[in-house]
Amino acid sequence: MSDYDLVVLGGGPGGYAAALYAASAGLSVAMVEKEKVGGTCLHRGCIPAKALLHAAEVFRTVSDAGAHGVKLPAGVEPEPDWPAANQRKAGIVNQLHKGLSGLLKRRKVTVVNGHGRLTADGAVSVDGQSLRGHATILCTGSVPRAIPGMEIDGRTVVTSDQSTNSDADRLPERVAVIGGGVIGAEFASVYTDLGVSTTLLEALPHGVLPIGPDRDVADVLSQSLKKRGTSIHADARVGTLEHADSGVVVPFETARGSEKLEVDQVLVSIGRRPVTEEIGAEEAGVRIDERGFVDVDQATMQTSRPGVYAVGDCVATPGLAHVAYAEAVVAVDHVLGEQPVPVDYGKVPWVVYTHPEVAWSGMTEAEARTAGYDVVVHKHAFAGNGRAMILGETDGLVKVVAQRDGPVLGFHLVGPWASELLHEGYLAVNWEALPADVGHLIHAHPSLSEAVGETMITFSGRSLHG
């Protein structure tokens, strides 16, 4: 006997997507959440981070207003208003939280507040209450990884949990960011543009986005950050922090030797780890791998216990909200007895919302060559694009990696609105389109998208402006 068709454990993007989608298919759903529905993405991640990136963009735009023919009154210099930026961000988060709560209510999803865990009989127990589902989906998410011996005090040494929820009355003057991945790059971009003296310390040989994107696009971001004043150190080994009255001293070593840096705040952004310790996995016979991720069959998202599924950051797939959404659909379709279309993990959309934005889908040039493809690559810079000039955002390029006389294998962007321009290339990669299929289609003039069309046309050996 089941109380619900589906019990969902965790109310972040994986959980609420599963609940909403299942409810829209007519299933009765209970969703257990110990904090607020919306999870990391809404309250401590994607949404607040992008709101702060937007504040930085407005500041850049206003600072550069003169160049666009808009005069500020004489002697007036724009300055960042950190509390106001955070207040606006909080308003957006609250509005989305209200909207999501209302949507769950309208879909008649029972939201149970508390910490849930699986029990041996397959139910989910929450504070003594037992919720029995015909199926269960684990969506317990992830938390920031810490560096052993480095205490996160939430004030001088923080993770993105705090950086997205600052209640400080002003920006720190000096920040060290440890880890140049997605979070590190996005916050380095925010802080640098808001005038904070920002140092990025990355353990790997490339200082900015060392893993993931094609080097050609990551390098444009790296150069742009450097040009704007970010101090970037690759191959950096960070030592034990020293707390002084005037700030935190960060010792680090690179090929150039040992250095010390004093800052007001250290942001630790060295990755995230899955939350799977206290969810009753062992009692319920749900296998957890050696890194702490829930083991799933990626064709169905089912765990080692039939009827129990897992999606989102608690499984070892790209830690992206939209991947969690897609996995939730796969799991629910399987619960409904249908044949789900599995996520093609090598071709998901990736976006880094830095200035300039970086986005990609599919193989990098290096990956395509390693995979043995006869590769053809064409690039088109935004420098000659009319719309980019009008925006004053000409740093960047489109790069298309294709198989010779074959389909698009990878699509890479860096530049203005790369986050939005990506989706045309995402379709091309996933539909295995030929560059000519896209090149024959018309791109509006003037538009940033023209750079995509031009790059695709170049594969024919002819070109317009390229």
Least distance in angstroms from the C-beta of 148 to ligand NAD: 9
d(CA 326, CA 338): 15
Stretch that binds ligand NAD, among 76-84, 128-136, 173-181, 294-302 (CB under 6 A): 173-181
Contact 113, 30 (CB under 8 A): no
- Residue 351 engages ligand NAD in binding (rule: CB under 6 A): yes
| C-beta atoms surrounding 407 within 10 Å | 15
CB of 187 to ligand NAD, least distance (A): 9
Interface region with ligand NAD, contact rule CB under 6 A, candidates 2-10, 223-231, 324-332, 346-354 = 346-354
Nearer to ligand NAD by Cβ, of 353 and 373: the residue is 353
Instruction: Closer to ligand NAD by CB, 357 or 454: give it.
Output: 357
Residues paired with 294 in a beta bridge = 288
Comparing CB distances to ligand NAD, the nearer of 137 and 270 is 270
CB of 270 to ligand NAD, least distance (A): 4
Say which amino acid occupies 114: G
Nearer to ligand NAD, 20 or 320 (CB): 320
What gap in Å lies between CA 358 and CA 340, rounded to an integer?
Answer: 30
Q: Which stretch binds ligand NAD (CB under 6 A): 70-78, 113-121, 267-275, 374-382?
A: 267-275
Q: Angle between the 13-24 and 321-335 helix axes, to the nearest 10 degrees?
A: 40
- Touching ligand NAD, residues 97-126 (CB under 6 A): none
Contact status, residue 110 vs residue 7, Cβ threshold 8 Å: no
Give yes or no: 322 in active site. no
Residue nearest to ligand NAD (CB): 181
Rule CB under 6 A: say whether 320 interacts with ligand NAD: yes
Asked if 193 and 56 count as a contact pair (C-beta separation under 8 A), the reply is yes
**Residue 319 interacts with ligand NAD (CB under 6 A): yes or no:** yes
Paired tokens of 40? 């990391």
One character per residue 232-251, x = contact with ligand NAD (rule: CB under 6 A): ------x-------------
- Cβ at position 68, least distance to ligand NAD in Å: 28
Of 371, 370, 396, 399, the C-alpha closest to 385 is 396
Instruction: Say if CB 178 and CB 268 are below 8 A apart.
Output: yes
Q: Does 204 bind ligand NAD (CB under 6 A)?
A: yes
Tokens of residue 439, six digits: 């090149």
d(CA 72, CA 330): 53
In the bound complex, what is the minimum distance in angstroms from residue 64's beta carbon to ligand NAD? 25
- Position 179 contacts ligand NAD (CB under 6 A): yes
User: What radius of gyration, in Å, describes the C-alpha atoms of the chain?
Assistant: 24
Residue 352 Cβ vs ligand NAD, minimum distance, rounded to whole Å: 5
User: Scanning the structure block, which residue is given the tokens 């965790």?
Assistant: 10
184 contacts ligand NAD (rule: CB under 6 A): yes
Residue 47 sits in the site that holds ligand NAD (CB under 6 A): no
Residue type, 398: V
270 lies in the site for ligand NAD, by CB under 6 A: yes
DSSP state of 297: B
On whether the CB atoms of residues 221 and 254 are closer than 8 A, the answer is no
By CB under 6 A, is residue 302 in contact with ligand NAD? Answer: no
d(CA 90, CA 88): 5
Q: Which residues bind ligand NAD (CB under 6 A)?
A: 147, 178-184, 186, 201-204, 210-211, 238, 269-272, 319-320, 351-353
Catalytic residues: 445
